Amino acid sequence: MLQSGNATNATNATAAGGEVTTLTETIAGLLGLSGPAGDFVGGVIGGALIITFLLTLVAVSGIWGKRKITAAFTDRVAVNRIGPFGLLIIVADAVRLLSKELIVPEGVDRPAWDIAPIIMVFSAVAGFAVIPMGNGIHLADPEAGLVYVFATASIASVGLVMAGYSSNNKYALLGGLRAVAQNLAYEIPLILTAASVVIFAGSLRMSEIVAAQAAPLISLGPVTIPAWYAFVNPFAFILFMAANLAEVGRNPFDIPEAPTEIVAGWQTEYSSVYFVLGYLAEFLHIFLGGAIIATIFLGGPAGPVLPGFLWFVAKMLAVFLFTQWMRSAIPRVRIDQLIEIGWKGMLVLSFANLILTAVIVGVIA
């Protein structure tokens, strides 16, 4: 059943109950289905709901929010002509982007060129399946949830290489190669840092990681600070935030696109709907990064007063805001510097963090 109580109740319930009711099961239950058929129908409907929500979020934040945020950072006004606060620009832009001519350059390697943007979107969307968003919105809760998220998110690299290579454009090729070099250099620190959280939580299951963070860390009078891993291990949190910037390709690590150097990187030859897909994938990846950070470091949907789902979205958007802030304020590093930071800096730091965490947890436990 959908839990109607507030977030604290929800997390308490999961902490106490151990097993969570996933959205799939809830929908199947409402429809009176059970077994594989129930799983299938529930999964499809639940997935459709979540994807619709995500697309709405991207539309609002990617078309309107991003401009407003960047404008605020850069002393401008941005969209304010169509509709209240310029919100109808979302409709106008959607129509504009979708009605543009799809230009297929000569010599592109099809179907790789067509599949690439779809793969990128898929890899981002698939990750959300195991993210507990609060209020029972949680599509699946496999035992290896965290591994699954990172696995699907990494598939995007395949899409980047495909796009870069099949575009038959030198800028795209450079962008694709840069993207792979960057993802290789930053995915390892990213996963190692996440592994330190797993050591704390003792599980890869997303719901259990969230539940473990509900315990109080310190009580200061009436205020209880929960044991969110961002508070427990701030070092890992900062490391993860930095690696995540590289993972989603935002300043100072927006090297795969680097508009002033290689025009648009792997996106150079994409137009119309394919461009929209690529753009969508980028924002979905930022949100997926936000969702992972919210889940493993910021206590998932936990938070006072408001429903857990709203807290979760707020945390995700906070990470999004952070990426936009970096984008406006921080210069891009050079490709060789990026690789150096990744392999010589972040990797060492994340290993140190992992080993220290393991030792501390081992001694305490």
User: Where along the sequence are the contacts to other proteins (CB under 8 A)?
Assistant: 70, 73-76, 106-107, 168, 170-171, 174, 251-252, 254, 258-263, 327-337
Q: Which positions ≥6 away from 331 have C-beta within 8 Å? A: 251, 252
Task: Look up residue 351 and give its amino acid.
Answer: F
Smallest separation, CB 332 to other proteins (Å): 4
Smallest separation, CB 264 to other proteins (Å): 9
The angle subtended at Cα 46 by Cα 44 and Cα 48, nearest 5°, is 65
Give the Cα separation of 198 and 209 in Å (integer). 7
Smallest separation, CB 76 to other proteins (Å): 6
Task: Closer to other proteins by CB, 219 or 260: give it.
Answer: 260
Tell me the β-bridge partners of 225. Answer: 218
Task: Closer to other proteins by CB, 2 or 329: give it.
Answer: 329
Task: Closer to other proteins by CB, 171 or 200: give it.
Answer: 171
Q: Which positions ≥6 away from 280 have C-beta within 8 Å? A: 55, 58, 62, 121
Task: Closer to other proteins by CB, 125 or 341: give it.
Answer: 341
Are 86 and 64 within 8 A, CB to CB?
yes
Smallest separation, CB 172 to other proteins (Å): 12
Smallest separation, CB 339 to other proteins (Å): 10
DSSP string, 185-237: HHHHHHHHHHHHHHHHHT---HHHHHHHTTSEEEEETTEEEE--HHHH-HHHH
Smallest separation, CB 306 to other proteins (Å): 32
Task: Closer to other proteins by CB, 12 or 168: give it.
Answer: 168
Are 353 and 236 within 8 A, CB to CB?
yes
Task: Closer to other proteins by CB, 251 or 295: give it.
Answer: 251
Smallest separation, CB 91 to other proteins (Å): 24
Give the Cα separation of 223 and 157 in Å (integer). 43
Smallest separation, CB 283 to other proteins (Å): 15
- What φ, ψ does residue 224 adopt, rounded to 5°? -110, 120
Task: Closer to other proteins by CB, 67 or 285: give it.
Answer: 67
**Distance, first Cα to last Cα, the chain:** 36
Task: Closer to other proteins by CB, 39 or 261: give it.
Answer: 261
Smallest separation, CB 40 to other proteins (Å): 44
Give the number of other Cβ atoms within 10 Å of residue 264's Cβ.
Answer: 18
The angle subtended at Cα 156 by Cα 152 and Cα 158, nearest 5°, is 110
Give the Cα separation of 86 and 65 in Å (integer). 10
Task: Closer to other proteins by CB, 12 or 70: give it.
Answer: 70
Task: Look up residue 86 and give its amino acid.
Answer: G
